[in-house]
């Protein structure tokens, strides 16, 4: 066995409190997640940079990808600076000697310094699922823990279905814990496996178990009642010193306790330094990076780390934030590596727009009339289907255009010339003899003092328009090739019966360094797309000029 630490290093609380991540095993059970062994290594490295105490890598011997992960980790592909690697598995089977159980042998072969065993703690599961009795179940736990400890491993035991089992037959549930601890287990983890507990109920049980046994207990909560995070924090307040979580709350059914929310609460609300110094500022970055590996979109409304976790939309909120951001933020977003945002919508007032103007580098004090005009225009446009809360680039263009055309104190600001202007565009569908349908677009634009006509083909009218526009502008705009279309979203807005539908298009663009979003709205999807595409390039051109 490779010599590796069995306790976390560089964490303020050391071994007295455990943050235990089970993303690679329990989190991987979420629908639509399928990690490769390489993915698992990448996830583990990110969790290590965050300073998580323990990383459960999976179930060696049961799943080929998990076996490969541990083999590659043991071969040197996973160098952990702070975290401790954990292998997960079950106790020996009923009526089988522990030294003859191949699954137990696979746990040792994984070479992880810590092993977590799952054990049944509900009499009904012991008798109906394992088809054995309580005495044999306790012997299975004791034999396996003792065997692994004798082979130099640190052992934790997950008491599966503990809360239901304790309510049904508390003596049976406690016998399982006693069998584990008496045989050398360091932590017994009380699992709310079906996620049915509520915080006060769960905390009472945790307190009672600690009082009756004196054991070191941990907590593992599923989120079937949307209480996993609250239950985990309640368990800590009741005396648990080991919390099991998954990144972004990934897990089967409704998920698990979210690592980032649990850690955020423990650090910022309870004052417990459960991560290494300064690691908290990495929460948002790591959360989003892990979502990327899982091939899932980050949850914008996720506590602490979501893009909208500190986004304010209502006008009253913005008015207060203008005076003091702490009035509507429960913490400084920077503490967890996030940012505050103000959303400008029909609900927002002047204060929201003033805050937004400052984000754009515009001093709102010098343009009171223009700001008032934009507030009115935003309300009018949003009544017709526009939405600027997710399209900051279009909002900035609207604001700058209004400032340049509004006389303030007898002075009119000279307007920035857009990088190009449109004369006309045309799109046709070409249904060819081979059955292929190709869109062809022609654009006529004025750029660099010249009139340019360009034609291009594409897969669909919007793609063809984008290709033709780029073809026309490329010779005059050197930065154009850095701009890529990152996302394109279309929503058909429902209208009253008998009225024409309105289409809203959001275009997200990137130049490799930053991203920006623009919006277009029209009864015709092509025109709505054109408006959003043009705004995207105009906004980029404006930024290029300001950088000179």
444: domain CATH number? Answer: 3.30.160
Residue 1 lies in a domain: no
For the range 400-408, what are the long-range contacts, defined as Cβ-Cβ under 8 Å and sequence gap of 24 or more?
A: 400/360, 400/362, 400/542, 402/370, 402/373, 402/374, 402/377, 403/362, 403/367, 403/370, 406/367, 406/369, 406/370, 406/373, 407/369, 408/366, 408/367, 408/368, 408/369, 408/370
In tens, the pLDDT along 4-51 reads 567 776 677 889 999 999 999 999 999 999 999 999 999 999 999 999
- In the predicted structure, residue 411 carries a pLDDT above the cut 50: no
- Whether residue 415 is predicted with pLDDT greater than 80 in this model: the reply is no
> In 3D, which of 545, 503, 537, 543 has the Cα closest to residue 520?
503
Q: Quick one: pLDDT at residue 380?
A: 81
Any idea which of 237-241, 388-392, 442-446 has the lowest mean pLDDT?
Answer: 388-392
pLDDT confidence of residue 113: 98
Shared domain check, 431 and 327: no
For residue 73 the two structure tokens come to 């980790």
Model confidence band, residue 495 (pLDDT cutoffs 50, 70, 90)? low
Express each pLDDT in 430-461 by its tens digit. 888 888 889 999 999 999 889 999 999 998 99
Taken in order 447, 508, 312, 523, is the CA torsion positive or negative? positive
Average pLDDT, the chain: 89
Residue 136 exposed, middle or buried by CB count within 10 Å (0-12, 13-18, 19+):
middle
Which of 34, 2, 14 shows the shortest CA–CA distance to 293?
34
Cβ atoms 245, 258 nearer than 8 A: yes
Q: Taking Cα atoms as reference points, which of 135, 204, 199 lies closest to residue 166?
A: 204
Helix (H) or strand (E) holding 243: strand 242-245
- DSSP β-bridge partners for residue 546: none
- Pick the more confident residue, 232 or 494: 232
In a domain, 51, yes or no: yes
For residue 324, the model assigns a pLDDT of: 60
C-alpha to C-alpha distance for 401 and 417, rounded to whole angstroms: 10
Residue 304 Ramachandran class (φ > 0 left, ψ -120 to 50 alpha, else beta): left
- At residue 499, the pLDDT reads 54
> Could you identify the residue written with the tokens 């394109």?
488
Q: Return the structure tokens found at 313.
A: 């939309």
Q: Containing H/E element for 181?
A: helix 170-182
**Domain membership flag for residue 507:** no
Same domain (yes/no): 214, 359: no
| Residue at 484 is within a domain | no
What is the spatial distance between Cα 214 and Cα 208, in angstroms, rounded to a whole number? 10
Query: What would the pLDDT profile of 320-338 be if each residue is shown by its tens digit?
Result: 555 566 677 899 999 999 8
Q: Please, what sign has the CA dihedral across residues 195, 198, 202, 203?
A: positive
Q: Looking at the structure, do residues 56 and 124 belong to the same domain, yes or no?
A: yes
Residue at a domain's end among 476, 506, 522? 476
Q: Are 6 and 114 in contact (CB under 8 A)?
A: yes
Give pLDDT, residue 89. 98
Rounded Cα distance between 33 and 21, Å, is 16
Q: What is the DSSP letter of 481?
A: G
> Would 172 be classed as within a structural domain?
yes
Are 221 and 227 in contact, with CB atoms under 8 Å apart?
A: yes
The DSSP result for 135-149, as a single string, is HHHHHHHHHHHHHHH
Residues 462-479 as b or e (16 or more Cβ within 10 Å = b):
bbbbbbbbbbbbeeebee
d(CA 148, CA 154): 8
Indicate if the pLDDT at residue 341 is higher than 90.
no
Token pair for 293? 């590996």
41 and 122 both lie in a single domain: yes
Q: Is the pLDDT of residue 519 over 50?
A: yes
Which H or E element spans position 452?
strand 450-458
pLDDT in tens, 65-115: 999 999 999 999 999 999 999 999 999 999 999 999 999 999 999 999 999
Q: Which two tokens stand for residue 103?
A: 């699954």
* Total count of domains within the chain: 3
Q: Tell me 93's DSSP state.
A: P
Q: What is each CA distance from 514 to 64, 268, 289, in whole angstroms?
A: 39, 30, 16
- The alpha helices in 269-367, defined as continuous H runs, are 283-293, 315-323, 350-359
Return the closest-CA partner of residue 118 out of 57, 59, 160, 166. Answer: 160
Mark whether 203 and 345 lie in a shared domain.
no
Instruction: List Cβ neighbours of 441 (8 Å cut-off, separation of 6 or more).
Output: 425, 426, 427, 428, 455, 456, 457, 458, 461, 464, 465, 467, 468
Is 355 found in the same domain as 215? no
| 101: containing domain | 14-277
First to last CA, the chain: 60
Give domain status of residue 166, yes or no: yes
**pTM more than 0.85:** no
pLDDT in the model for residue 272? 96
Question: Residue 57: its pLDDT value, please?
Answer: 98
Domain with residue 193: its CATH number is 3.20.20.70
pLDDT of residue 53: 96
487 within some domain = no
Same domain, 156 and 206: yes
Within this chain, do residues 131 and 103 fall inside the same structural domain, yes or no? yes
pLDDT over 50 (residue 234): yes
Residue 212 resides in a domain: yes
Q: Rounded to an integer, what distance in angstroms lies between the CA atom of residue 8 and that of residue 520? A: 52
Residues shown for the chain: 548
Instruction: Classify the C-alpha dihedral 349-350-351-354 as positive or negative.
Output: positive
Structure tokens at 512: 């490799």
Model pLDDT, residue 410? 46
For the segment 139-144, the average pLDDT, to the nearest whole number, is 98
403 and 432 in a single domain? The answer is no
Q: Span 223-252, mean pLDDT?
A: 98
Q: Each residue of 270-320: pLDDT tens digit?
A: 999 999 978 999 999 999 899 989 988 889 899 999 988 988 775 555 555
- Kindly report the backbone phi and psi dihedral angles of residue 361, in degrees, each rounded to the nearest multiple of 5, phi listed first: 80, 25
| 161-175, 292-306, 360-374: least confident range | 360-374
pLDDT exceeds cutoff 50 at 405: yes
Question: Cα 360 to chain center, whole Å?
Answer: 26
396 & 434 share domain:
no
- 67 and 135, same domain (yes or no): yes
Q: Give DSSP secondary structure letters for 47-72.
A: HHHHT-SEEE---TTT-HHHHHHHHH
Angle between helix axes 228-237 and 259-268 (nearest 10 degrees) is: 40
Measured CA distances, 389 to 313, 314, 392, 399, 506 (Å): 8, 11, 7, 14, 11
What is the pLDDT at residue 500? 67
| 433 Cβ contact list (under 8 Å, min separation 6) | none
pLDDT band at 2 (very low <50, low <70, confident <90, very high): very low
SS3 257: coil
Residues 249 and 327 in one domain: no
């Amino acid at each position: 066995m490779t010599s590796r630490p069995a306790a976390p290093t560089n964490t303020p609380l050391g071994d007295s409190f455990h943050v235990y991540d089970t993303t690679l095993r329990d989190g991987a059970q979420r629908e639509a997640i399928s990690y490769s062994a390489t993915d698992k290594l990448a996830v583990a490295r990110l969790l290590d940079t965050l300073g998580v105490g323990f990383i459960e890598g999976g179930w060696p011997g049961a799943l080929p990808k998990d076996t490969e992960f541990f083999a590659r980790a043991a071969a040197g592909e996973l160098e952990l600076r702070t975290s401790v690697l954990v292998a997960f598995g079950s106790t020996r089977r009923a009526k089988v000697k522990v030294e003859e159980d191949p699954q137990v042998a696979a746990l040792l072969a994984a070479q992880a310094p810590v092993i977590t065993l799952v054990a049944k703690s509900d009499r009904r599961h012991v008798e109906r699922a394992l088809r054995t009795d309580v005495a044999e179940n306790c012997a299975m736990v004791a034999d396996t823990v003792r065997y692994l400890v004798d082979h130099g491993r640190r052992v934790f035991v997950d008491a599966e279905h503990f809360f239901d089992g304790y309510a049904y037959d508390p003596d049976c549930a406690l016998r399982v814990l006693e069998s584990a601890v008496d045989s050398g287990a360091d932590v017994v983890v009380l699992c709310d496996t079906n996620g049915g507990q509520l915080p006060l109920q769960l905390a009472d049980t945790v307190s009672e178990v600690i009082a009756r046994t004196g054991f070191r207990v941990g907590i593992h909560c599923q989120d079937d009642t949307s209480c996993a995070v609250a239950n985990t924090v309640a368990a800590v307040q009741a005396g648990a010193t080991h919390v099991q979580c998954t990144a972004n709350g990934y897990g089967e059914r409704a998920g698990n306790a979210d690592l980032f929310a649990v850690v955020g609460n423990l650090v910022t609300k309870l004052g417990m330094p459960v991560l290494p110094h300064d690691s908290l500022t990495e929460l948002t970055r790591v959360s989003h990076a892990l979502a990327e590996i899982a091939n899932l979109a980050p949850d914008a409304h996720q506590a602490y780390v979501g893009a909208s976790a500190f986004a304010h939309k209502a006008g009253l909120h913005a008015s207060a934030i203008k005076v003091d951001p702490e009035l509507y933020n429960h913490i400084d977003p920077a503490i967890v590596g996030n940012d505050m945002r103000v959303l400008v919508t029909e609900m927002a007032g002047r204060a929201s727009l003033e805050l937004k103007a400052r984000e754009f580098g515009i001093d709102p004090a010098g343009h009171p009339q223009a700001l008032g005009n934009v507030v009115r225009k935003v309300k009018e446009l949003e009544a017709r289907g526009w939405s600027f809360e997710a399209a900051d680039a279009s909002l900035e263009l609207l604001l700058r255009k209004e400032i340049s055309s509004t006389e303030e104190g007898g002075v009119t600001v000279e307007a920035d010339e857009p990088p190009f202007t449109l004369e006309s565009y045309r799109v046709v569908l070409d249904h060819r003899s081979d059955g292929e349908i190709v869109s062809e677009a022609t654009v006529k634009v004025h750029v660099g003092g010249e009139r340019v006509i360009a034609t291009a083909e594409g897969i669909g009218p919007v793609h063809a328009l984008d290709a033709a526009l780029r073809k026309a502008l490329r010779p005059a705009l050197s930065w154009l090739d850095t701009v890529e279309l990152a996302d394109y979203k279309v929503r058909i807005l429902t209208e009253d019966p008998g009225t024409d539908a309105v289409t809203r298009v959001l275009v997200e663009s990137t130049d490799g360094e930053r991203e920006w979003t623009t919006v277009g709205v029209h009864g015709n999807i092509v025109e709505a797309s054109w408006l959003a595409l043009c705004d995207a390039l105009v906004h980029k051109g404006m930024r290029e000029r300001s950088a000179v």
